[in-house]
Structure 1
Amino acid sequence: MAEICDSTSPEPNFDDKTMRKTKPGLKRLILTLTVFFSFLSGLPSLLKSIEIYRSPLPFRDIDSLSNAIHSNPLVFPCKFHVVFVNNDHTSSTKPDENLGFLIGSYMSEYAGNSSSVCGTCDGDYAVSVSLDGGEALREFTFDQTDEVVDEYLQSVVEITRSRLVYTIVVVNSGERDGVRAVVGKYRHGWVVGRVADVEVVAEMVAEMFVKVFVNGAKDERSIQGEFMPVGADGKIVLSFNLLNADPRDWIYDWDFKEVGEKLLAPTLEALAPIANISVESQVLYHTPKSSYSYWDDEHESHIFSTKDLPFFVNSNEWHLDTSIAAGGRSKILQFVVYVPSASECPLRLQLPNGEISVTNAFISPTWGGVLVFNPPNCLANANNMYPFRRTISPQVENNSLLIRR
C-alpha cells in the first residue's frame, strides 16, 4: 500500500496591516549613521578618561641640576665654639681674640690632609672663642667622672648656646700636669689640663673639630657608610630568630626575655644616644637551608664551605621580616640561630684555609649573621621516635649576640 502524504501546511499568520511591504529606506540609514557618528564623537573623551596620566618630567633641568651638584657639591655651614675657663693661671701665651683665626687655620690643614674637605662643611665654617666661660663653668669641678661632666656640659650648653654649634670647653687647670681631651656623646667635648701653650691647645681643638665632630672619627678606607645598619630615621630593629630546620627530629626553644634583660638592656642603653633600637625575637619551625652540605669522614660531620654562604639563607622558608616596627625607613638586623635536622647533623663551617670554624657562624654585612647550633649527641638523638622540646643553653644565646666570623 502506498502512503498518501498531505503536503499542505498551514499558512503563517501575518497581519497585513502591520507587516512592512517595502525595503528599509533612507530613514533607517540616517538613524544608523547618527548612532555611529555619535559613538565616534564620544570616543576621544572615552579614551581620555581611561588613559594613565604621566606627568611630564623636566629632564633637562634635572641633568643641569645633577651636573651643578657634581661640580659644586652641597655644603652645610658649620659653627664651632671654644670656651676657655680659668684663664687666670700663668701661661706662656694667653688666649686672645685672634685664637679663632689660629684654630681655623689648623682646621684647614687637617681638612686638607683628609679624604673629605672638612666633611660636609667644605670650608664654610665659623670659629668663635669665648674667653670667659661664665659662672656656671667656673664653679664646676671637672675632676668628676666623664659621664657627669658630659651631662652637665649638655645642660649648660643647651641653655647658653644653640644645639647646632659644636662646642669644646678648655679648662686651664694649673694643678694638673699634661692635657686630657674628652669627646662626649653630645655635640661638645672638653680639654682639661695645664694650658702652657695656647697654640698646642688650638691645634688639639682643631683636630677634635675636624676628625671627631665633622668626619665622625672614622677611617673612610675601613668603614663604609653603606654598611651602617641604622635607617634614615635613626631607627634599627634587632631581630633574634631561633630556627628549627625539622621539628620532627627535635624542637628547641629559648628564654629570650632573660637574655634581653641581662645582656641586651645595658647595650641598648649605651647606644641610645646614637640610635633608636628595638628588639624582637621569634622561634620558627620547618626552616631548612638552601645550600647543600656533604659528609666528611675525617671530621665526622656534614660540611658546608664559605662558598655556600650566599645560598645558606632560605628566603622562601625563613619568614624573618615579620615585624611591624621594621616598616618604613627603619633598618632590621637579623641574628639567626640555626638548628640543623638530624640528616645533616653535626653541621660545621669550613673556612677557606681548610680549618673548621671555631664559632661555626658567619656574618652578612647590612643583613646580620647566622650561628649554626648542633644539638649535643645529635646522631644518637636522631633515632628517637618522638621529638622532645628542649631549651637552648644560655651559652648559645650569648654567642648569638656576638656572631663573628
Structure 2
Amino acid sequence: MMAADEAEKARGKRAALSFAAVALALGLPLWWKTTETYRASLPYAGISALGSLRFQLTVPISVVFAKGTLPGAQQRKLPFTDTKEEQSLLNPKTSLTSRYETTYRSATATEQAALGMATVQEADAALLSLQEDSLGSLTVYVVPETSRLLPQGVGVYVGKHRSAVVRCTQGTEDVLAAVNARVQRVVQAMSFTADSVTTTLSDSVPMDQLGADTRRPFKSSLGYEITFSLLNPDPKSHDVHWDMEAAVSRYVQPFLNKLGLVANFSVDSQILYYAVLGVTHRFDKASSSFILSALSLPHVINPVEARLGSSATSLYPVLNFLLYVPERVHSPLYIQDKDGAAVETNAFHSPRWGGIMVYNIDHQAPDEAPLPLRVEVDMVRVMEVFLAQLRLLFGISRAPLPEEFLLESPGSEGLADWELDCLLWTRTVENIATVSTTLTSLAQLLDKIGNIVIKDDVASEVYHAVASAQTAIQELASGQLGSAFQASKEAVTSSERAFFDPSLLHLLYFPDDQKFAIYIPLFLPMAVPILLSLAKILQEAKQSKKEPTKTD
C-alpha cells in the first residue's frame, strides 16, 4: 500500500513538473511573442543625416556672345565652361552653398538674326524657341555696345522668360571680365538669393536674424484654397455687385496656371452682409474722412475671420482676400501707414493669412436717391491689388535693381518664368527641411514610446521619404531644378502619410501595465495550482534531505 502511495506521489510530481515545464518553456514564450508590438525597421541613420540640412544649389548659366562683341583673341577661346566657387549663403547651422556653372559660346546664325530685330521684346520672344526650356537655367545674350537692340541708357534687359540681354562695354582690356561683372548682377537678380532662402526657412531662423522688411511667406503645401469675400456691412444703403467669376478667369487663373507646378489651387467667393471690421476708426476733420491707423490693422483679422468660416473646414492653407465696402455713415474710409501717410492702394496684407482692401463708394448722388444705391465694383483696380498681395503671400518679390536695368512686365500671367524658378528653388529647400523635421519628430516619438506599432506600409513611406529627399538634394547639386522639386514634393507627401498614419494613434496600442492587467486574470487561475504544486514539491524535497538515512 505504501509502495502504491509512493508511486502515486511520484506520478503527481512528474505531472506538476511537466505542466510547469510546458508553461514556462512553451506557453510563456509563445504568449510573449504573440502579444509583442510589431515594429518594422526604420532608416534612423538616413533620418539623422537629413537633419544636417546640407544643400548645394547649382545654377546652369549660358553666356552667348553676339558677333562683334569680343576681340579676336578672346573669341577664339570660345566655347569653354567655368565653374564659380561655392559660397555659403546661410549661417553655419543651416549649411547651404551655391555654385554657378557658366558656359561661354558664340551666337548661332539663328540667334544672331534674332538679336538683330528692331526691339528687344521681339528678340526675346524669338529667342525663346531657341533656348532649352530647363527650369532653373539662365541664358545671357551679350550684344555690342553699338547695338540698337537696347534703348539708350539701358545696359541690361531682363525678360519675362529665362533670358537677359547685356550690353558689352568696349574700351576695356579684358572684355570678358567686364561682361562677367554684369552677368553676375543679372544672375543675382534672376536667381535665388540668401534673403529669399532665409525668408523661406524663417520658421527655423530667429526673428532677430531676419531683415526688417522680411515677410514670412505661406509655408509650402501640396494645395491652397483661395477665398474672395465681399463684406457689405450696410446692405440697406449699398447694393454691391462684383463679377468675380469673370475677374478670376481673366486675372487670377493665368497666374494660378503658372503656379500649377508648385501646388493645386481651388478658388471660391462669397458675399457677407452685415460684416464689419470690428475695429474703431477715427474721424479726421481736415479731410472729412475716417482713418484706419496701422496700429489697429492687426486687430482686424480675428473679428473678420470668425465670419469667413472657410479655414475650419479646409485641409489646405486658406488665402483670404477681402473687399470691404464701408458703411454709408463711415465713408470714406482710408488706411494710414505707420508714418501717418495714406496708403495708395487703400489695402494691406497679413503674412500667411491674406489681404484686405477698403473700397470707398462715391456718395455724390442726391440725398433723395433711392436706397440701396447700386454699386458696380471696378474689378480691374481690385484685382491689381489682390494679385500684388498674392505675389507677396507666396514670397514673390522683386529686389530693387540698378537704373541701367530694364525689367520686362510678366504680362497677363503675372509671373515671369525666372520668378517661378526662384520660387521653386526656395520651395525645394523648404520641402526638404520640412521632411527632415517631420521624420525626426516621428523617429523621436517612436523611440520614446516603444509600444507604438510600426507597420510595413508606414516604414515604406518613411524609406521613400528619405530616398526622395536625398534625390532632391542630389538633383539640386546637379542643377536639375524640376526633378529636384518633384522629388521634394514626393518626400513631403510620404513623410506626412507616415506621420499621420492612423495606426500610430495611441488608442490602438496598450502599454505594458495595461497588457499585464488584461492577461493576469486569465493566467492566474491556471498558474496558482502549478505554483502551489511546485512549492509543495520543493518543500518535500527539503524535508527528505533533513530526514536521517535508515540502515538495516
Give TM-score scaled by structure 1 length: 0.58
Contact 2:281 2:293 in 1 (8 A): no
Match of 2:65 in 1: 84
Match of 2:374 among 375, 390, 400: 390
Match of 1:62 among 35, 47, 65: 47
- Rate the CA distance shift 1:115–1:287 in 2: closer, same or farther, 3 A: farther
Match of 2:452 in 1: none
Contact 2:80 2:105 in 1 (8 A): no
Distance apart, 1:145 and its partner CA: 2.3
- Asked if residue 97 in structure 1 is aligned to residue 80 in structure 2, the reply is no
Q: Secondary structure at the match of 1:315?
A: helix
Rounded Cα–Cα distance in structure 2 between residues aligned with 1:57 and 1:165: 37
Match of 2:119 among 145, 163, 179: 145
**1:205 aligned partner, one-letter code:** N
- Rate the CA distance shift 1:201–1:61 in 2: closer, same or farther, 3 A: closer
Match of 1:130 among 94, 105, 108: 105
- Rate the CA distance shift 1:91–1:292 in 2: closer, same or farther, 3 A: closer
Match of 2:243 in 1: 255
Rounded Cα–Cα distance in structure 1 between residues aligned with 2:372 and 2:124: 52
Match of 1:282 in 2: 269
Distance apart, 1:312 and its partner CA: 0.9
Match of 1:169 in 2: 141
Distance apart, 1:100 and its partner CA: 4.8
Match of 1:316 among 303, 306, 312: 306
Rounded Cα–Cα distance in structure 2 between residues aligned with 1:61 and 1:168: 39
Distance apart, 1:181 and its partner CA: 3.5
Deviations for 1:200-234, whole angstroms, at most 9, x for unmatched residues?
Answer: 344323542x4433663677569974448688589
Contact 1:236 1:332 in 2 (8 A): yes
- Asked if residue 363 in structure 1 is aligned to residue 349 in structure 2, the reply is yes
Deviations for 1:338-364, whole angstroms, at most 9, x for unmatched residues?
Answer: 124467666554554567667543222
Rounded Cα–Cα distance in structure 2 between residues aligned with 1:297 and 1:275: 45
Match of 2:56 among 75, 86, 93: 75
1:14-33 to structure 2, matched below 5 A, reads: none
Deviations for 1:61-103, whole angstroms, at most 9, x for unmatched residues?
Answer: 5345423x3xxx221444333333325x8848533438857x6
- Rate the CA distance shift 1:153–1:63 in 2: closer, same or farther, 3 A: same
Contact 2:144 2:168 in 1 (8 A): yes
Deviations for 1:99-126, whole angstroms, at most 9, x for unmatched residues?
Answer: 857x65xx55xx86x9569xx9946443
Match of 2:399 in 1: none
Match of 2:359 among 351, 358, 373: 373
Residue-pair matches, total: 338
Rounded Cα–Cα distance in structure 2 between residues aligned with 1:163 and 1:198: 35
Rounded Cα–Cα distance in structure 2 between residues aligned with 1:123 and 1:333: 32
Distance apart, 1:295 and its partner CA: 5.9
Which structure has the higher relative contact order (CA within 8 Å, separation 6+)? 2
Rounded Cα–Cα distance in structure 1 between residues aligned with 2:256 and 2:319: 18
Contact 1:97 1:129 in 2 (8 A): no
Rounded Cα–Cα distance in structure 1 between residues aligned with 2:224 and 2:116: 35
- Rate the CA distance shift 1:389–1:56 in 2: closer, same or farther, 3 A: farther
- Rate the CA distance shift 1:244–1:366 in 2: closer, same or farther, 3 A: same
Q: Which runs of 5+ in 1 are unaligned?
A: 1-36
Contact 2:345 2:385 in 1 (8 A): no
- Rate the CA distance shift 1:281–1:145 in 2: closer, same or farther, 3 A: farther
Higher radius of gyration, 1 or 2: 1
Deviations for 1:292-351, whole angstroms, at most 9, x for unmatched residues?
Answer: 326648477665433322221321202466999xx75xx765432112446766655455
Rounded Cα–Cα distance in structure 1 between residues aligned with 2:248 and 2:226: 11
Rounded Cα–Cα distance in structure 1 between residues aligned with 2:141 and 2:343: 49
Rounded Cα–Cα distance in structure 2 between residues aligned with 1:128 and 1:244: 58
- Asked if residue 183 in structure 1 is aligned to residue 158 in structure 2, the reply is yes
Q: CA RMSD in A?
A: 5.6
Deviations for 1:374-393, whole angstroms, at most 9, x for unmatched residues?
Answer: 55559x98x99x96362235
Give TM-score scaled by structure 2 length: 0.45
Distance apart, 1:261 and its partner CA: 7.8
Contact 2:231 2:272 in 1 (8 A): yes
Q: Which runs of 5+ in 2 are unaligned?
A: 1-22, 201-214, 390-552
Contact 1:229 1:332 in 2 (8 A): no
Higher strand proportion (structure 1 or 2): 1
**1:286 aligned partner, one-letter code:** Y
- Rate the CA distance shift 1:249–1:54 in 2: closer, same or farther, 3 A: farther
Q: Secondary structure at the match of 1:291?
A: coil
**1:285 aligned partner, one-letter code:** L
Match of 1:30 in 2: none
Higher helix proportion (structure 1 or 2): 2
**1:84 aligned partner, one-letter code:** F
Identity %: 21
Contact 2:322 2:355 in 1 (8 A): yes
Match of 1:293 in 2: 280
